[in-house]
Structure 1
Amino acid sequence: MSPELDRAAREAGGRIIAALAAGFRDLDLAEESFAEACARAAATWPRDGVPRQPAAWLYAAARRCALDALRKRAVRSRLSPDAPEPEPTVEDDLASDERLIPDERLRLIFVCCHPAVAPESRAALTLRLVCGLSVQEIARAFLLTEAAMFQRLTRAKKKIAQAGVAFEVPGPEAWPQRLSAVLSTLEVAYSKAHEDAAGAGAHAAYAREILDLTAALAELAPSEAECLALAALVRYAEARRPARLDETGAMTPLSQQDPALWRRPLIDEAQAYLRRAADLDRPGPRQLQAAVHAVWCGRRSLDEPPRWGAVLALYDALLAWRDDAVARLNRAVALAEVAGPQAALAEVERLDPERLAAFRPFHAVRADLLARLSRPEEARAAYDRALALDPAPAERLWLERRRTALDED
């Protein structure tokens, strides 16, 4: 796949698949048509040249593929898709991808999170169709095997087809059944966009999309505190992006980031969302997570020491809502600063090492704690396990640096 096609597919694939799914009411058709459009692009672009609007070319080609597939199935007469927009002229210099491709992602997210779909499959299906994550990436995010995740996704798509799920954003009365899954999906999608500190990963561009989607969701549901909290959370995190790398390109841990580099306008937006959430007096886990970010973003310079006690207290409260490995590991980092690395390591060792074998942060946190306890051989082994899990270049550089430091001590 050429770099131009790869970039267009990654950046616009979710928008294109969502538009196709909304128009044709068929998830498999949308996914297969987009894949066929990419295949046609791979065959024709090297010969004819890259179009001026690559994403628009893919959308137009995918729609034609979908219509061709419907004719071949001889079922087009039994479908009632939305009236298609006029065929776009993708070489029109005045056209924009945004105008040519209707943004139906929010609608598709709600479809994937329909109650007919098993709760454990809703976020995974959305990540596959809307965010374009591979089955392997989704399996890693949910700590499952790739085969198990593929089966889960297949069952979910069949269930949507069998249940005749309406392709629409439901009214407020239906939100309680779907909202939690929608928010969880956006959280996982953002974590994938945010995991590469350099912003160069396959899904890095989706960070901007999550900012837009959380804003749209907050506007649709202004009385849902957790929607507002998620909008706050992603803005706090994105605000810190300019400080996530040091001068060598290595990842900079949050406690060592220079607050002077953070984007204050985004922090101000986040604080406004979090205040609105707090005013609703409906506590929830995302408000606590956002509050952790707020504590960090309250720092104005490196001269201000991190408020580890406040961070630890918030994670203690979060465990009552969400007791999972991610929360436990983040709490352990704060606990190490408050009660010492021995207490933190004891908490980490209580986690399930087999289930977390492919979870890189588990090995990285454990390695750091072992190093601080003067157990270099065990720390090296833990760093090696983290490095074997294919970290992004910036994180790899940081982990390698930490491992090398053990040899110098």
Structure 2
Amino acid sequence: MAAARPRIVAALAARFRDLDLAEDAFSDAAAAALVAWRQQPARDPAAWLWRAAMRRAIDARRKAAVRDRAQHDLPQPEATPEEILIAAREPIPDERLRLIFVCCHPALAPESRAALTLKVVCGLSTERLARAFLVGAPAMLQRITRAKRKIQAAGVPFAIPEPSDWPERLDAVLSTLEVAYAQAFEDAALTDDAAPFAAEMLRLSGVLAEILPQEPEVLALAALVRFAEARRPARLDGCGVMVPLEDQDPALWRRDLIADGAVLLERAAELGRPGPRQVQAAIHAAHLSRAETGATPWIEITKLYDALLAVRADVVVQVNRAVSRGKVFGPGEGLSALAGLADEPRVRAWRPYHAARAQLCADADHYEAAIQALQAALRLSPPPAERRFLEQRMSEATKALGRSRPAR
């Protein structure tokens, strides 16, 4: 059901021009499926959900018309080509792409565009979105609600804009794909509801790269996703424990995706318009060079993070830069780089910050502080594979602390 949701919600929203109606209709259809499929499982679940959601959307419109004192029911709408294709086993992606561009309309506040898209198109919960954007859940709910009202009030057309109008929406579209992919990448084992985004964002980023081959940031995002997915086979050990990047076996990395990403990044560089995603992709490429050289080029990576910080000074970049500086200049330097973030509540609620601090503290032989940081990370509901990794690190730090204490 989760895999079919984005396609169906996108098609319903395009058909009825109402985001809330589309979401509610799919939720009702999914609830009905839980009952109906117990007796007889659907041969084509996506088609079943689509038909059920369409019926519920039509019924809701009819009831709304009655409430508005309409004298007749709304006629049964004729099926559009998109609605017919949505029932196929492999429906075309155009409706999802269309809705992404609708939700990234310039009439919406910049901070609302990606959040609304991820809520409607990808079905991420408000709580998960709040964690992704490092804000509180009430603030995120308010942001999404305002954006939906703005779309309704402004009569935003549910159509892909003309290419001449793409530039003003493109950065928000790319940010949406980036955050959606990050949600899938977060869980090394791909066990949660964001798992389908890994393959979907790999595909969608490739579609955009084909449509916009002269946009370097589009090419760079496609390269970045391929570089990150290339490491997927090495991210779990035989016991289901997450393996951090520096400990992964490069022999397990997918050479085909690395090669595809390298071509895309080279094409982006040739266009001569640098941007933050090109720097991010270059950082991924530098890590992957270990497959050829046998060593991670931490000095080069640190310089790239310095460059990225100049154009994207967000928390993610600052934490990763601190880790790289710790590798080059020693853990004390890395901890100093993290120190300025410690007082921000949103950072304290972000698991990777605590995990990075724990590693730097352990590298500096500050085992009590490492244990405290690991405990903080474990309190923030890590996915199962990461939890096992953090618990493993906790055990190692506890043993090291015991060894470092003088015998009585």
Normalising by the residue count of structure 1, what TM-score does the alignment of the two structures yield?
Answer: 0.92
> Does 2:390 align with 1:399?
yes
- 2:188 is matched with which residue? 197
* Matched residue type, 2:271: L
- Residue 78 of structure 1, CA deviation: 8.9
Aligned counterpart for 2:18 among listed residues 13, 23, 26? 26
Runs of 5+ unmatched residues, structure 1: 1-7
- 1:3 is matched with which residue? none
CA contact (8 A) 2:326 2:334 kept: yes
> Does 2:145 align with 1:187?
no
- 1:5 is matched with which residue? none
Give the secondary-structure state (helix, strand or coil) at the position aligned to 2:347.
Answer: coil
- 2:406 is matched with which residue? none
- 2:330 is matched with which residue? 340
Give the secondary-structure state (helix, strand or coil) at the position aligned to 1:300.
Answer: helix
Aligned counterpart for 2:146 among listed residues 152, 155, 172? 155
| Counterpart-to-counterpart distance in 1, 2:82 and 2:143 | 36
* Matched residue type, 2:16: F
* Matched residue type, 1:16: I
| Counterpart-to-counterpart distance in 1, 2:76 and 2:247 | 56
Q: How does 1:250-261 map to 2 (within 5 A)?
A: 250-261=241-252
Q: 4+ residue runs of structure 1 moved beyond 3 angstroms?
A: 75-90
Query: Taking structure 1 as reference, are residues 219 and 89 closer, same or farther at Cα in structure 2, changes over 3 Å only?
Result: closer
- 2:405 is matched with which residue? none
| Counterpart-to-counterpart distance in 2, 1:121 and 1:87 | 28
Aligned counterpart for 1:37 among listed residues 17, 29, 33? 29
CA contact (8 A) 1:358 1:389 kept: yes
Greater Cα shift, 387-396 or 72-81? 72-81
Aligned counterpart for 1:310 among listed residues 280, 296, 300? 300
CA contact (8 A) 1:55 1:97 kept: yes
Give the secondary-structure state (helix, strand or coil) at the position aligned to 1:347.
Answer: helix
- 1:64 is matched with which residue? 55
Aligned counterpart for 1:84 among listed residues 80, 91, 105? 80
| Counterpart-to-counterpart distance in 1, 2:353 and 2:310 | 21
Aligned counterpart for 2:310 among listed residues 320, 333, 352? 320
| Counterpart-to-counterpart distance in 2, 1:225 and 1:152 | 30
Query: Taking structure 1 as reference, are residues 87 and 205 closer, same or farther at Cα in structure 2, changes over 3 Å only?
Result: closer
Query: Taking structure 1 as reference, are residues 406 and 149 closer, same or farther at Cα in structure 2, changes over 3 Å only?
Result: same
- 2:404 is matched with which residue? none
Query: Taking structure 1 as reference, are residues 402 and 280 closer, same or farther at Cα in structure 2, changes over 3 Å only?
Result: same
CA contact (8 A) 2:58 2:76 kept: no
Q: How does 1:2-401 map to 2 (within 5 A)?
A: 8=1, 10-46=2-38, 48-74=39-65, 83-84=79-80, 96-99=88-91, 103-300=94-291, 304-351=294-341, 352-401=343-392
Query: What is the alpha-carbon root mean square deviation over aligned residues?
Result: 2.2
1:361-405 per-residue CA deviation (whole Å, 9 max, x = no partner) reads 011111111122222222111100100111011111111011111
1:116-150 per-residue CA deviation (whole Å, 9 max, x = no partner) reads 11111000000001111000000111111111111
Runs of 5+ unmatched residues, structure 2: 401-408
- Residue 270 of structure 1, CA deviation: 0.6
CA contact (8 A) 2:82 2:95 kept: no
1:214-251 per-residue CA deviation (whole Å, 9 max, x = no partner) reads 11111221111100100000000001100001122111
CA contact (8 A) 1:123 1:181 kept: yes
Query: Taking structure 1 as reference, are residues 392 and 160 closer, same or farther at Cα in structure 2, changes over 3 Å only?
Result: same
| Counterpart-to-counterpart distance in 2, 1:82 and 1:167 | 18
CA contact (8 A) 1:19 1:102 kept: no
User: How many equivalent pairs are there?
Assistant: 394
- Residue 346 of structure 1, CA deviation: 0.5
Normalising by the residue count of structure 2, what TM-score does the alignment of the two structures yield?
Answer: 0.92
| Counterpart-to-counterpart distance in 2, 1:309 and 1:126 | 37
Give the secondary-structure state (helix, strand or coil) at the position aligned to 2:291.
Answer: coil
CA contact (8 A) 1:367 1:379 kept: yes
* Matched residue type, 1:219: E
CA contact (8 A) 1:16 1:34 kept: yes
> What is the percent sequence identity of the aligned residues?
55
| Counterpart-to-counterpart distance in 1, 2:161 and 2:398 | 58
Query: Taking structure 1 as reference, are residues 331 and 375 closer, same or farther at Cα in structure 2, changes over 3 Å only?
Result: same
| Counterpart-to-counterpart distance in 1, 2:134 and 2:350 | 8
